[in-house]
Amino acid sequence: MTVLAPALPVLDPHAHARVTFPRLVRSELIKLRSLRATAWSGLILVLGCAGLALLVAVTTRDEGNTDAPGLALDQTTTVVHLLAPLVAVVMGVLFASVEYTSGAIRPTLAVTPRRWGVLGAKTVAAAAVLAVTSALTAGLTFAIFYGLYHARGFAVTLTAETAGRLGGLAFYGVVLGLIGFLLGFATRSAVAGIGTGLGVVFLLPILMTLASGRPLTDWLGAILPESAARQTWDWYLTPAPGGAWGGVGIALAWLAAGFLVTGVLFTRRDA
């Protein structure tokens, strides 16, 4: 009597290669790390702020500054604010526009046709890179100011406000970078994305300032994306509704609206 061997299950070689959201995010992070634009733009921001901080700290006079506990923090916010808006917007736009200039978006969509998931993964990856870069920039800039001033005998201090405003600077860089990222995805062009992003970040606040003095324009100026995100570290601005935390909420609302608009455009247009 012949005994038949039990049939072995057929294993699907792709069973463990399902495309999941965490895997999409990881692949996008690998892609961003491999971009030259990520390296040079990040270095420009970090080293540019660090170099400017070193120059300012070395040339600051002792008179009138030795008894200023918040000197290091105030100068950190000033230096980072000089470079962060421009570099963060350009960095975000390049993260998105390179997908179309290099043609990398097509194989991505061939593997993962669900475009909302692709856009979400790219946004999370971009936010992570921007957060690390912005936090490193703020932390290193403050460390240079604090270390040099402390060595010179200045009465600089570390307080809860220090951590809060440095965290606000990092959040500020992420928000502006994501604005650039979403505009780059929507326009599919580095030139158009950078031009539009700089208009949103620089031109609109200037126009609102020129028209200030009226309740409506003052209110509109306080809820612009750049102004709202700036509330988290610049506590001397005209406050947004809800103060610093209100600024966080308004900035996140702008990003959510931008994500929805970009997602609709992304799903309706060919790659």
Model confidence at 1, in pLDDT bands (50, 70, 90)? Answer: very low
Q: Would you state the pLDDT for residue 79?
A: 95
CA distance 78 to 72: 10
Q: How far apart are CA 107 and CA 19, in angstroms?
A: 13
Four-residue CA torsion sign, 113, 118, 120, 121: positive
Whole-angstrom distance, CA of residue 144 vs CA of residue 9: 63
Distance of CA 9 to the CA centre of its chain: 49
Asked whether residue 63 carries a pLDDT value surpassing 80, the answer given is: no
Look up tokens 């001397």; give the residue. 236
d(CA 217, CA 205): 10
Contact (Cβ atoms closer than 8 angstroms) between residue 72 and residue 156: yes
Question: Average pLDDT of 23-35?
Answer: 90
CA distance to 26, 94, 95, 172, 218, per residue, from 88 (Å) = 22, 10, 11, 9, 26
- Confidence (pLDDT) at 16: 52
Are the C-beta atoms of 60 and 79 separated by less than 8 Å? Answer: no
For residue 11, the model assigns a pLDDT of 45
Q: Say how far apart CA 173 and CA 79 lie, in whole Å.
A: 13
- Give the residue-averaged pLDDT of 30-51: 91
pLDDT at 111: 83
Two tokens, residue 102: 């290099």
Res. 234: pLDDT tops 60: yes
Q: Supply the mean pLDDT for the chain.
A: 87
Q: What is the pLDDT of residue 6?
A: 52
Two structure tokens written together for 118? 């692709």
Q: What is the pLDDT of residue 205?
A: 87
Residue 91 near residue 41 (C-beta atoms within 8 A): yes
Q: Phi, psi (5° rounding) for residue 152?
A: -90, 0
Helix then strand then coil, % of the chain, to nearest 5: 75, 0, 25
Residues 6+ apart with CB under 8 A from 97: 184, 185, 187, 188, 189, 190, 193
**pLDDT per residue over 160-200, tens digit each?**
889 999 999 999 999 999 999 999 999 999 999 999 999 99
Q: What is the mean pLDDT of residues 65-74?
A: 82
Q: Where are the domains of the chain?
A: 21-268
- Tell me, what's the pLDDT at 81? 93
Of 51-55, 190-194, 217-221, least confident by mean pLDDT is: 217-221
CA 153 from chain centre, in angstroms, equals 35
| Residues 193 and 103: beta-carbon distance below 8 Å | no
Kindly give, in sequence order, each residue whose CB lies less than 8 Å from that of residue 87, ignoring residues fewer than 6 positions away: 41, 44, 45, 48
Please give the pLDDT value at position 49: 95
Nearest CA to 242 out of 260, 223, 225, 224 is that of 223
**Residues 244, 231: contact at Cβ < 8 Å?**
yes
